[in-house]
Structure 1
Amino acid sequence: MATKFISLENLTSYTSQLLTRLKTLFVQRELKTGSTDTYKVLSDNNLTDALVKKINDAGSSSFNGAYDALTGKPSIGGKEIASGDQTAASLGLATPTDVTTAANAARSGAVDDVKKLGYQTADQVGASVDAAKTELQNKLGSAFKPKGSSLFADLPTSGREIGDVWNITDAFTTTDGFVEGAGVQYPSGSNVVLVNTDDGPKWDVLSGVTDLSAYATKDSLGAYLLKTDMVAAADAEIDALFTTASNV
């Protein structure tokens, strides 16, 4: 019987089959969950000590998946969101109608508060201004009533009305019947108006007609001296003045 030997080819085939057989008999080592250098062992504890502590500290809990079973449900503005379909009202949000209603109520309340303080609306102010303007225009139109010209001595003492204006054609001195009292002199052409005072109706002197006949006009000045008539004195004439003065 011939002697047999194992060649390298035979050994390679045998080693391959052996490794395959061993893999079916043994399980390759695995690292513990959460670890990079500690391998699992034949034990029911395949977690690191840190993970085991976390699990133990967490305690027991259960959740069936229902929304009602949630703790710390989400909320908007402090209002917890209920389960199911939501509306603006259920979420505690204001609808456009709510906003409009609130704005109208706020505006009405503000207007009422302003009225209570005695303020007026723009329409009321406009009406008051128009009324005051009309009254002022009426008073201005009827305040002064020109009556004509009169001598001071002929000023009426009866049948007169507030606002009557007279032009006094002669110079005069006021009496106690004038606002400024007696003793004040005025030239002819002064205007007086009858006004109401605490002491009854009295005359008040206004600006009158000023007589400028005594003053020269521009045209009359031209007849006396023209700019073209003026010439500068010669130096000799000025020297002659000093010579005359030195001989005195």
Structure 2
Amino acid sequence: MNSLVVASIVFVCVSGSGMLGLALRTFLPDHHLSEDSTAIVKLGAGLMATLAALVLGLLIASSKVTFDRLNDEFTQTAATVFVIDRTLADYGPEAKEAREFLRSTYASAVERFYSEGGAGKADVDAPETLAHMVQFQQKLRELAPRNDMQRMLQSEALARSHDLAEARWILFRPGEGAIPTPFLAVLVLWLGILFAGFGLVSINYRTAFATLFVCALSVAGAIFLIEDIAHPLEGLMQISRTPAQIALSHLGQ
């Protein structure tokens, strides 16, 4: 689901709970709003606020770690492609066909990887794309080394091609949201109860309304940030394509 849609749903649920608490206050008998009763509500709200803050903080940190890992993996993939190309260049003119195939395949993969904000990811993960990797490795195996140096270079290129295949499964695995749906539902339930409690103990309606609105917007913003980071090809914060562009500019030279 789109990050903005998820954040909007959270905002509506949380702010609606706060408004419900404000409305409920006007219908409750006075003894339910005594000082002792509101003190208990405040204690419970404080506990739930602490839990929600810890969970949101951990989710943001976890999403950032995942984003950085994928970004590093993409950069490492570009470096691996460059090293394979240089290895084949050292091998000699016999590896020219393999180098050209590597460049065209990598350029096509990068283009589809970023096409339409990540929509091309499915194409990159298609069986025919995997076949390109198999074809490239086959071209490496078909090289006929004439000396120990070429045999060493062939083995090194093959080993690094396996690293590329491994990186493919990391980068192109099916996309998932940062927060599993059941977990998100429980988190929104916590926040809804928390905001309802805030509304219940509020006195000044206008001030409470403005405060609840701003707080709900902040919570929704945190959820948006978590979900957006979890989709590094589709959201506002995306993996940089600069390493791939630099690698492509040096391939075949």
TM range (shorter): under 0.3
Q: Which has the higher contact order (CA 8 A, sep 6+)?
A: 2
TM normalised by structure 1 equals: 0.23
Which structure shows the higher strand fraction? Answer: 1
Which structure shows the higher helix fraction? Answer: 2
Larger Rg: 1
TM normalised by structure 2 equals: 0.23
